[in-house]
Amino acid sequence: MPTGLENKSETVAVSSSAYFLKPVKAFFEEVTAITRFAFRFFKELFMPRYELKELIRQSYLLGYKSLPLIAVTGFIMGIVLIIQSRPTLASFGAESWLPAMVSVSIIREMGPAIAALIFAGKVGSGIAAELASMKVTEQIDAMEVSGINPFKYIVVTRIIAATIMLPVLVILSDAISLYGGFLAVNLKGDISLHLYFSQVFQALAFTDIFPAFIKTIFFGFAVGLIGCYYGYNSAHGTEGVGKAANQSFVYGSISIFVLDMMAVQITSFFI
Amino acid sequence: MGTTVAEIKDIKKSFGSNNVLAGLNLKVESGENLVVFGKSGSGKSVLIKCLVGLLEPDEGTAILFGENVSELKERELNLVRKKVGFLFQSAALYDSMTVRENLEFPLRDLKPKTNEETDALIIEALTNVGLADAIDKMPSELSGGMRKRVGLARTLILKPELILYDEPTTGLDPITSKEISHLILDIQKKYNTASIIITHDVECARITSNRMIIIKNGTAIAEGTFKELAESTDEWVRSFFK
Ligand SMILES: Nc1ncnc2c1ncn2[C@@H]1O[C@H](COP(=O)(O)OP(=O)(O)OP(=O)(O)O)[C@@H](O)[C@H]1O
Ligand SMILES: [Mg+2]
């Protein structure tokens, strides 16, 4: 007589494998969809008409919106890095190495990574929320029916703006961090600005600066792409707006770490 | 009445398990105002979005000016869309632009116009809806009714041959509603446009309609003039007119 028990264990088995498979499948579907979105970006990038005015406006807005936060965190990061490393270096009697040490860690890693994460939080999720609410309020539909390509006007401009502006912001943030470092060195020592910066630059090689700059271009592209993807494809209804912002931050930050890891691998391969 | 401007043939559309349209047909002749009635959620907005290709129907065809919308290439579709005005239910003003920029936006791909010509068009369109003084405001500074009127001005600025009005008077006071209804009628007379007017407003339907259809369960269950439907023997149909 069937008890229904064996049936039950079967469903458990099925649902537990589904439990593991589903997110994996969803992840790959998501990656595929984002890749397709990126292809569409490159296709439309080279076709007229070029929305130059909107591109400039977006670049200004993105840079302006995130500059204060990136500047403040950069400044604090410079100070903290010096204060934290001073005891260690002092125990080797190597305090004079402080400027060289901050410069390498800020330029190679800390500056790009922290600025990019802030950019993903502020700009990436901002783009996603903005596009999602444009979608909910039918603004994207309105553009489309008036015969204007909304992908080009809204998405292409924002992705390019993010790709251009993040490297600029990182350069500014690096400079501010190094200046913060200068102030922190002077808390317990005495070094002139000139000497400090000459030590900072002496420690840096082309192979520190160039790969770091290139990777920030990719970080900016990823943040813009992912923000636009989640905003442009957000679900029907208002709750879609919050979800789009959240997803774009989560996936934006993950992609920054993944790209960073790839950048380290590629750089160490060449050097 | 002349040629057919827009036609919908057996359109079906569902979202997941929600069957919104289930084989709907309609036709609009040039110069005709067709009013579409239906309860909230009956798929009226979905219907006109399928007509202009904003939504892809699951089955059936949408035809605009003799062209099958789903078979058009993007460029051809854009050309057809330039002849269609769409007033969105939520007005869909671009929040990052002023009223002036909102109205300029649909004009930007047209043959180069001088600034004076563009300004004249914008002011004409805003005067039509009685909002000429709101020209430099941002959409967030406007009331719901004003947004709707600016949306209408933006729709009219291209002098479309077919206008799709999604609830043009909803959320407006009775006097403004009446003005808008008469404006719709004036536009039809002045430019000989055809329109599909989605509304719940009986007064608006009475003023503007040449013909009406009523949607229920995803199909058109009744069709006729305002008078015919208002005096229908069907209790459910008549209930719309109370
Ligand atoms: N993009 C979409 N995704 C999922 N469901 C949708 C979508 N658009 C519309 N719907 C659903 O389709 C149904 C019909 O929606 P529609 O907006 O056409 O109604 P309506 O007749 O215009 O109602 P109202 O008078 O309230 O505007 C609703 O149940 C709605 O939730
Ligand atoms: Mg509707």
Q: What is the pLDDT of residues B13-30, one digit of tens each?
A: 999 899 999 999 999 999
- Ligand 2 midpoint to CA B13 (Å): 15
Q: Is B89 in the pocket of ligand 1 (CB under 6 A)?
A: yes
A192, exposed or middle or buried, with CB in 10 Å at 0-12, 13-18, 19+? exposed
pLDDT in tens, B154-190: 998 888 999 999 999 887 888 888 988 998 998 899 8
How many Cβ atoms are within 10 Å of B71's Cβ, its own excluded?
A: 10
Q: Is B15 in the pocket of ligand 1 (CB under 6 A)?
A: yes
- Ligand 1 midpoint to CA B152 (Å): 21
Q: What's residue A15's pLDDT?
A: 62
Break chain B into its structural domains and give their ranges.
1-83+163-174+192-242, 91-159
- Which residue among B79, B88, B95 places its CB closest to the CB of A141? B88
Q: What's residue B69's pLDDT?
A: 92
- Ligand with minimal distance to B20 CA: 1
Q: What's residue A4's pLDDT?
A: 46
The percentage of chain B sitting over the pLDDT mark of 70, rounded to a whole number, equals: 98
From A4's Cα to the closest Cα of chain B, the distance in A is 30
User: Ligand 1: which atom is nearest the Cα of residue A235?
Assistant: 3
Q: What's residue A5's pLDDT?
A: 47
Residue of B nearest to A139 (CA): B92
B81–A146 CB contact, under 8 Å: yes
Radius of gyration over every alpha carbon of chain A, rounded to an integer in angstroms? 23
> What are the chain B neighbours of A126 within 8 Å (beta carbons)?
none
Q: What's residue B191's pLDDT?
A: 86
Give me the long-range contacts of B50-57 (CB less than 8 A, separation at least 24).
B50/B8, B50/B11, B50/B13, B50/B21, B51/B6, B51/B8, B51/B164, B51/B196, B52/A145, B52/B81, B52/B84, B52/B86, B52/B164, B53/B77, B53/B81, B54/A141, B54/A144, B54/A145, B55/B13, B57/B11, B57/B12, B57/B13, B57/B21
B92–A144 CB contact, under 8 Å: no
How many Cβ atoms are within 10 Å of A29's Cβ, its own excluded?
A: 10
Would you call A153 an interface residue with chain B, using a CB distance cutoff of 8 Å?
Answer: no
Q: What's residue A52's pLDDT?
A: 92
**How high is the mean pLDDT in each 10-residue block of chain A (271 residues)?**
48 64 87 95 90 94 93 95 91 88 91 95 96 94 90 96 97 95 89 91 90 95 97 88 94 95 89 73
- Which residue among B54, B78, B158 places its CB closest to the CB of A141? B54
Cα–Cα–Cα angle for A245, A248, A249, rounded to 5 degrees? 85
Instruction: Say if CB B64 and CB B162 are below 8 A apart.
Output: yes
Residue of A nearest to B159 (CA): A146
Distance between CA atoms of residues B159 and B179, nearest Å:
19
In DSSP terms, which residues pair with B223 in a beta bridge? B213
- Ligand 1 midpoint to CA B50 (Å): 12
- Ligand 2 midpoint to CA A61 (Å): 34
Which residue out of B17, B36, B46 has the highest number of ligand 1 atoms within 8 Å of its CB and is therefore the one to mutate? B46
Residue of A nearest to B104 (CA): A146
> What are the chain B neighbours of A154 within 8 Å (beta carbons)?
none
B74–A149 CB contact, under 8 Å: yes
Residue of B nearest to A138 (CA): B92
Would you call A239 an interface residue with chain B, using a CB distance cutoff of 8 Å?
Answer: no
Using CA positions, which residue lies closest to atom 8 of ligand 1?
B46
Q: Is B20 in the pocket of ligand 1 (CB under 6 A)?
A: yes
A146–B105 CB contact, under 8 Å: yes
Q: List, for chain B, all residue ranges whose pLDDT scores fall below the cut of 70.
A: 1, 111-112
B74–A142 CB contact, under 8 Å: no
**Could you tell me which CATH number the domain at B1-83+163-174+192-242 has?**
3.40.50.300
Q: Is B43 in the pocket of ligand 1 (CB under 6 A)?
A: yes
